[in-house]
Structure 1
Amino acid sequence: MADKHSLQEIEEAEKKPLWHRLGWLAGIWVGSVLALFVVASLMRLFMNAAGLSTH
């Protein structure tokens, strides 16, 4: 039964327009890039506070 339910969900997802699916893909990508930027900035801030620098 669970297989039929998941197959039905897949078929419904494939009916959505391509721009909608690509929009979700782009949104997730942008979110991950922003999260990486925040983590890298915090690490740089902490490293500078500890006296480590690149120059």
Structure 2
Amino acid sequence: MNGKHSLHDIEEAEKKPLWQRLGWLALIWVGSVGALFIVASLMRLFMSAAGLTTH
């Protein structure tokens, strides 16, 4: 394929159960929040190591 989704692919995706589609949404959300937490924690760690405080 040329990278575009066909109407058949879209219809097949819409046939999946709602719980499965919401599950993927939740999984992606939890993954992105987790990644943000890791990046923020690393930034806080580096700032503490440089002598900066958060309070």
Tell whether the structures are fold-level matches, with TM greater than 0.5. Answer: yes
Task: List alignment gaps of at least 5 residues for structure 1.
Answer: none
Which residue pairs with 1:26 in the alignment? 26
Which residue pairs with 2:40 in the alignment? 40
* TM-score normalised by the chain length of structure 1: 0.88
In angstroms, what is the RMSD of aligned CA positions? 1.3
Task: List alignment gaps of at least 5 residues for structure 2.
Answer: none
**Which structure carries more helix by proportion?**
1
**Aligned residue pair count:** 52
Q: Counterpart of 2:36 in 1: which secondary structure?
A: helix
Runs of 4+ in structure 1 over 4 Å off: none
- Identical residues among aligned pairs (%): 83
